[in-house]
């Protein structure tokens, strides 16, 4: 696929097909829940389909959203995108966005997003990422996850994994808690034309990120959903879900952008967990598994080799 041959419609169509593929794979791995679809129109142009699973066998609440929207770009949109081209009057945006909250606290929460933007005047770019938020960090699981992401990145450029891993550490960070959301992953934005990276090459990378998602998460669904858990584990899960709410509503650019620009609220907030708890000044007991997880919620950990270097047990 050469750059000239890729149209916004092809990208959007590919994302929409990815939504179908992912929902089918997740339904199969869940073995109980089904995704329910809502299709919506955006008054200014375009629309989307939200696919939401509630009360599955493994997934307690999860959404796989597709959208393709276009139209006149309000100044607020251009400002949020950090664009101030005088000729950027029309925009086109398409992508998929996924958050899955599992029932079993031993299964991690996961998030994935791929997106493509165009503005009139010719500017275009891809963005996206995958990050993992275990309620209980298992360093072997974290290493496996990062190896899977590195493999995808390395197929495209040697700088991708280290650069995008670092970017995820910076992005998925709760500044007010001075803690990361989880064990990170990869995050990238504004991937545009550059020597050696035309639109076809960027799109090929984003496709590979999208295709990696289902095999990665179904691995954790299958492996960890059989682990036993207690009410205490569920309470910690509810507290960690509270932190997930804090990140998404306070810091996540996509969520804030959507809420401030009159996006479809129920689709944007499908990322919120089924429940959450806030206890004043909660501190996990010294030496507990919860404290061990808390201590691993920091930037700069080399998760690829974490099992031999960071002890969580």
Return residues touching a second copy (CB under 8 A): 38, 52, 54, 61, 63, 175-177, 238, 242, 245-246, 249-250, 256, 259-260, 262-263, 265-266, 268-270, 272-281
**Catalytic residue (choose from 101, 111, 135, 233):** 111
- Residue 59's alpha-carbon distances to 71, 79, 170, 255, 277, in angstroms, are 35, 36, 28, 22, 19
Q: Which is nearer to a second copy, 84 or 280 (CB)?
A: 280
What is the DSSP-derived secondary structure letter of residue 257? H
Q: Which is nearer to a second copy, 164 or 173 (CB)?
A: 173
The least distance separating a second copy from the CB of residue 164, rounded to whole angstroms, comes to 26
The least distance separating a second copy from the CB of residue 252, rounded to whole angstroms, comes to 11
The least distance separating a second copy from the CB of residue 276, rounded to whole angstroms, comes to 5
DSSP string, 173-202: EETTTTEESSSEEEEEEEE--BTTB-HHHH
**182 — alpha (psi -120 to 50), left (phi > 0) or beta?**
beta
- DSSP H/E element including 284: none
Strands 173-174 and 46-54: unpaired
Q: Which is nearer to a second copy, 206 or 272 (CB)?
A: 272
Active site residue 111: yes
Is 49 in a helix, a strand, or coil?
A: strand
Q: Which is nearer to a second copy, 105 or 185 (CB)?
A: 105
The least distance separating a second copy from the CB of residue 71, rounded to whole angstroms, comes to 19
The least distance separating a second copy from the CB of residue 12, rounded to whole angstroms, comes to 24
Cα separation of 120 and 89, whole Å? 6
Q: Which is nearer to a second copy, 260 or 291 (CB)?
A: 260
**193 — alpha (psi -120 to 50), left (phi > 0) or beta?**
beta
Closest CA to 156 of 203, 193, 104: 203
The least distance separating a second copy from the CB of residue 21, rounded to whole angstroms, comes to 22
Q: Which is nearer to a second copy, 140 or 260 (CB)?
A: 260
Tokens found for residue 66: 């597709």
Cα separation of 229 and 175, whole Å? 30
Q: Please, what sign has the CA dihedral across residues 282, 284, 289, 291?
A: positive
Count CB-CB contacts under 10 A for residue 56: 22
Cα separation of 115 and 204, whole Å? 13
- β-bridge mates for residue 124, sequence order: 118
Which residues are catalytic, by number? 111
């Amino acid at each position: 696929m050469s750059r000239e041959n890729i149209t916004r419609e092809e990208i959007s169509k590919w994302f929409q097909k990815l939504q179908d593929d992912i929902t089918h794979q997740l339904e199969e791995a869940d073995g109980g829940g089904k995704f329910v679809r809502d299709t919506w129109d955006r008054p200014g142009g375009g629309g989307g389909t939200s696919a939401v699973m509630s009360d599955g066998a493994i997934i307690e609440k999860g959404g796989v959203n597709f959208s393709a929207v276009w139209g006149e770009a309000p100044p607020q949109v251009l400002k949020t995108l950090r664009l101030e081209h005088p000729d950027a009057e029309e925009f086109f945006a398409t992508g998929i966005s996924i958050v899955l909250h599992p029932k079993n606290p031993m299964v991690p929460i996961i998030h994935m997003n791929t997106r493509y933007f165009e503005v009139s005047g010719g500017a275009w770019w891809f963005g996206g990422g995958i990050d993992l938020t275990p309620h209980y960090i298992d360093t072997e699981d974290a290493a496996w996850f990062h190896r899977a992401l590195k493999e995808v990145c390395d197929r495209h450029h040697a700088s991708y994994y280290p650069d995008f891993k670092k970017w995820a550490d910076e992005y998925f960070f709760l500044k007010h808690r001075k803690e990361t959301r989880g064990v990170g992953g990869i995050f990238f934005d504004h991937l545009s034309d550059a020597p050696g990276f035309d639109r076809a090459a960027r799109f090929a990378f984003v496709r590979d990120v999208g295709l990696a998602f289902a095999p990665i998460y179904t691995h954790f669904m299958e492996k960890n959903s059989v682990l036993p858990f207690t009410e205490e584990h569920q309470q910690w899960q509810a507290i960690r879900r509270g932190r997930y709410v804090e990140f998404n509503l306070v810091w996540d650019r996509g969520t804030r952008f959507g809420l401030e620009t009159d996006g479809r609220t129920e689709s944007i907030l499908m990322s919120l967990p089924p429940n959450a708890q806030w206890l004043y000044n909660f501190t996990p007991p010294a030496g507990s598994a919860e404290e061990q997880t808390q201590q691993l919620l920091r930037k700069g950990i080399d998760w690829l080799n974490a099992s031999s270097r960071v002890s969580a047990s």
